[in-house]
Structure 1
Amino acid sequence: MLCCLGVLFTAGCGDDKTGEEEGPTGEAKLTAFSFKAENNPDYLVKDYTGTISGTAISVKVPADTDLSALVATFETADGESKVTVNGTPQVSGTTANDFSDPVDYLVSLGKKNALYTVTVSELPEAVWTKVTEWEQDASSIRLEIDQTDNLPCLVVTNENAVTFAKLNGNTFTSETVANRKGQYPGLGISSAGQPYIFFYESETLNGTVATKTGGAWTEICNSIERTANQAGPTITTIDGKVFVFTVNDNRSPSTRRRQIDVATYDGSSWTTSGDIPGRSIARGYWPVARTKNGTMYLFVLNPVSPNSFSIYTYKNGTWSTFIEEYAYPSSEPGAEPATYHSFSLYCPDMVIDDDGNIYLGICYDYSPQVLKIDANTKEINRIGSVIPSPGNTSGRTCRIALSPLGKLYMAYRNSNDAKLLQVVSLDEKTKDWTAPIQISSEPVFDEFECKFTKEGTAYLAYYVQEEKTDGVVTTPAKICLYKLATTE
């Protein structure tokens, strides 16, 4: 009997021991912390990784980043750990928090806890730095970004050749597109990275389009009609088609002279000398085409009295008139007679933001300035103040660029005499342009371009003509490339 009780007692003690909670054996620990662009599309265009030092986590993001609702991505040492902020469960890549002040992340694993403090600060201010100089003669240059690798590409024309170049490390790698004189180039790059180049040939009086296929450049069209020097030809791709917009300068016959010609390529055949559906104005200059979120926008200067511009859109195979004709008033509303600003028939620019708002860089009265067209109301307003006119030569050209997060930049030359290239940006607080930053130390030719990559790096290319003394070249012509990026 006693033996039986002893056996039962021993068995009961054994059951109690095995039922005790020993808890997880891992650590309550954060092993990685970051803000990923894919989880913060409204605030970031690239990923930013935090540095973990003990229980302190620091992350640097660009200045002016909205910190009010950032989504963090994190990893724990043990997949069973629970993570909370002020008692609210956190899901990596999903839960948003306000990081305007330090945020405490509590990591719990059974009875183990660890408290991490996340501090978000600003990266150093982005600065313009020289990437490279390329000794190259040019009559015209055009800059575009290959969005497949975020690298800048150029098309360069001169008396001897048409050349394509792409940044490779800190130098340009160039390829000959055509061994003959080219003028008035246009450069378009498809979403798949396929380059298309337009150039005009004065000997044949025709425009040519070339593309790179299988490692070699091939001319796929030589029948675009004579192009005017105010053409500002533009080439772009959308919906699997290539579009080329030029100003017709055919003088025999002259029935289409100064009209906007539309040439399209569907991959097998071309349609040339087409019109913009819905356009009623006979004459046009400097067509500028841009694509954004599946829509192509086409801007055209109208050399009529008063000077005006038109904007058209193309989406899903259909053309629409966005702005039929707009002349920019110089007189007060209601004044009689009304007066209007005039513009130089030279080098306007256009960018579009993610909401479809349109920004135009135009040198009205030889003064660089930017107009914004609201996507919904079509209301047109000037952005920032007017840049004082640097003269009727330097003041005829400006370039604008928009960062992926919506910050606006403008490049222009400072005076007729010095012709130094400088850049301003729009201050979000004052709603006006910042003090200009001088980029070049030499006079800059009309040819300069500025574009942003989708990751937020801006590239600015410009051309400097050669210098001669007593007929001898002392300083060769060159193309300079700068970029805007943080030092970290």
Structure 2
Amino acid sequence: MKQLIKNLCYPLIAVLLFSACGEEDKSISAPEIVGAKLVSFGFYVEDNEGVLDKDYVVDGPIVGSDIEMKIPSKIDKSSLIARFTTSEDNPAVTVKGTVQVSQQTANDFSIPVDFVLTNNSQNNRKYTVRIKRPIEWVKKVRFSEFQLSDAILKVNPVDDVPYVMGITNASNSENRKTVLLKYENETWSMVGDTISNGRPSDIDFTFNSTGTPYVVYTDYTNTIPQTATVQYYDGSSWVVIGRNYNDVRVSYNSICFDAMGKLYVFSMNNAAGGVVGRRLMNISTYNGGSWTTNQTMPGRNYNTYNMRSILKKDILYLGVYDYANDKGTISVYINQNGVWTTLAQGMRMDGATEINYNDLDMDVDNQGNIYIMGLERFDSGYKLVNHKYTASTSSWSIFATPIDLIGNTKYFSIGLNPDGGLSTVYNNLTTNSNSSFVTIDKESQTWTSPFIFPDILNTKADMAFASDGTGYIIYIDASKHLAIWEYIEDNE
């Protein structure tokens, strides 16, 4: 019995002594997997002749289980051969059960590829290789000829050139004018002369099927002040095609063509006494050289504020911010072959109590899926919420996790790249009111870590993508000049 007690005590004493001596290290680490490691990994021209024009190799030691490599989109990744080395225990390397031989085995790297390493001790380790486009935001030359007080961005679908419609800045608002600028070959230039005769507001513009720009603005110099004026650029000067066609002043203008070439202008009647009631949507159309106005949306009786209109694949899409009973919502309509259809009316996320009327943005992909974002209020605070309409199922859902904001912000913009990836730039109080850019990771369908713009501070940033995937963000900087960042791919 004494011997038994002695045998139990000695290990207990040893444990107590060890605990006392090592009192500072209170953590218990999980045992490290021994061996079965990738030491190096890359794609080499020598192994991929006719496909690669340079080597793409992981720099330094491989840390962790995720290997991310940046290779230009122009390169075919469907059958790349990897070159790799492993740890000294020479583990077997497989992909989906197929043995991999360095410099010999080809895989489709257009999607993530899992490399599984197994050594003689049956220690397994998985490495996931992802190839992404080498893209980054680069600040480009600003427009410094004169100051602006407002600016919106769109890319001409015919030549992929970004255009900006703005309002010149002047201490006397009556001296402000509308202008249209374009950014081509890293140079800013004006499209014609100043557009308006005097003070404008509520600007928007679009392009017809040949790339000709058309603009709309609330015109304070009209016979009925603050009614809309519409002009287009004929290649040498601005031509008025609509003026004084409203019967009362209007706000929140949005302009777009339909598939048949009819021009639509959507506005909010901002005064009583018109054929269409105050704060209701007034639809005006221009076709065959004449205007038809005071049209309304069938079945709609909500007050109207911000609107976004887009022509995509022969369908005209209209997103609208509603305001009824002091509670904001979102509605979406489409026009196909001249017929309006309601896709959503009075929509907001479950649990939200209102949507802020200051901003709204919408984009549509090539499959007819709609993404429309609003700033929605919850008991826990404000969130940027993206509602997605899936065309194949005719259904709405919340796309991606809503973005938490410390407080209310009226500055955000969304855009879809040609691959259908959604991106958002928004004013972020968590980063001292600098704007943040996030995009959706295709695999996880979650927002990426934000890129913080150091100089976009307390101002509206507007975003758009060209058909080649180049992204643009414009804003008015602290000196009241137009600045631009470009989201470009490094093809070197």
Of 464, 477, 480, 2:480 maps to 477
Show the 5 A alignment for 1:376-455.
376-392=392-408, 395-415=409-429, 418-445=432-459, 447-455=460-468
Alpha-carbon distance in 2 for matches of 1:219, 1:147: 23
Confirm or deny: 8 A CA contact 2:226 2:250 kept in the other structure.
no
User: Does residue 170 in structure 1 map to residue 191 in structure 2?
Assistant: no
Question: How far 1:380 sits from its partner (Å)?
Answer: 2.4
Using structure 1 for the length normalisation, give the TM-score.
0.69
Aligned residues: 369
Counterpart AA for 1:142? I
Q: Does 1:360 align with 2:372?
A: yes
Identify if the C-alpha distance between structure 1 residues 259 and 64 changes in structure 2 by more than 3 Å, giving closer, same or farther.
farther
Change (3 A) 1:432 1:295: same
Corresponding position: 1:140 with 2:143: no
1:329-374 deviations in whole A, cap 9, x for unaligned?
Answer: 20xxxxxxxxx43111022111111221111121112422312122
The structural deviation recorded for 1:391 is 2.0
What does 1:67-78 align with in structure 2 at a 5 Å threshold? Answer: none
Q: Name the CA shift for 1:403/1:69 in 2 (closer, same or farther; >3 Å).
A: farther
Output the amino acid matched with 2:164. L
> Is 1:58 the equivalent of 2:51?
yes
Aligned equivalents of 2:219, 2:185: Cα separation in 1? 32
Secondary structure (helix, strand or coil) at the match of 2:455 reads: coil
Superposed CA offset, 1:250-271 (max 9, x none): 2345851111111111141111
Secondary structure of the residue that 1:307 maps to in structure 2?
A: strand
Give the Cα separation in 2 of the matches to 1:165 and 1:416.
33
Separation in structure 1 between the aligned mates of residue 48 and residue 153 of structure 2, nearest angstrom: 46
Structure-2 residue corresponding to 1:127: 136
C-alpha distance after superposition, 1:382-405 (max 9, x if no partner): 22222221422xx22321101111
* Contact kept? 2:348, 2:355, Cα under 8 Å: no
State the distance in 2 between where 1:273 and 1:414 align.
Answer: 39
Q: For structure 1, which runs of at least 5 residues remain unmatched after alignment?
A: 1-50, 71-96, 102-120, 331-339, 466-475
**CA shift at 1:55, angstroms?**
8.4
State the distance in 2 between where 1:124 and 1:68 align: 15
How far residue 123 of structure 1 moved from its aligned partner, in angstroms, is: 6.9
SS of the equivalent of 2:436 reads strand
8 A contact 2:269–2:276 mirrored in 1: no
**TM-fit CA distance, 1:413:** 0.9
Structure 1 Cα separation of the partners of residues 79 and 323 of structure 2: 48
- Secondary structure of the structure 2 residue equivalent to 1:58: coil
Mapping for residues 83-232 of structure 1, pairs under 5 Å:
99-100=108-109, 125-135=134-144, 136-158=146-168, 159=173, 160-174=176-190, 175=192, 176-203=194-221, 204-225=225-246, 226-227=248-249, 229=251, 231=252
CA deviation after TM superposition for structure 1 residue 240, in Å: 1.2
RMSD, matched Cα? 3.0
1:325 aligns with 2:346: yes
Over 3 Å counting, the alpha-carbon distance change for 1:154 and 1:370 in structure 2 is: same
**Cα–Cα, structure 1 residues 440 and 140, in superposed 2: closer, same or farther, change >3 Å?**
same
Distance change in 2, residues 1:65/1:452 (3 Å):
farther
Q: Deviations over 1:70-128 (max 9, x none)?
A: 9xxxxxxxxxxxxxxxxxxxxxxxxxx97449xxxxxxxxxxxxxxxxxxx95752111
- Deviations 1:183-242 (Å, cap 9, x if unpaired)? 11011112211100011123422110110114110111112434555x2x2111122111
- In 1, Cα distance between equivalents of 2:163 and 2:456: 23
Partner of 1:106: none
1:295 and 2:304 aligned = no
Moved more, 411-420 or 159-168: 411-420
Q: Contact conserved, 1:281 with 1:302, CA < 8 A, in 2?
A: no
Shift in CA distance, 170/374, structure 1 to aligned 2, threshold 3 Å: same
- Separation (CA, whole Å) in 2 of partners of 1:280 and 1:206: 22
Q: Which residue of structure 2 aligns with residue 29 of structure 1? A: none
- CA drift at 1:281: 1.8
Q: Percent identity?
A: 22
- Residue identity in the other structure for 1:308: T
Q: Deviations over 1:423-474 (max 9, x none)?
A: 00011232211111012425242x3211111111111111224xxxxxxxxx
What aligned pairs does 1:7-46 form with structure 2 within 5 A after superposition? none
CA distance in 2, matches of 1:406, 1:66: 19
In the superposition, the TM-score normalised over structure 2's length comes to: 0.69
Q: Distance in 2 between matches of 1:486 and 1:194?
A: 28
1:462 is aligned to 2:475: yes
**Whole-angstrom distance in 2 between the partners of 1:54 and 1:407:** 32
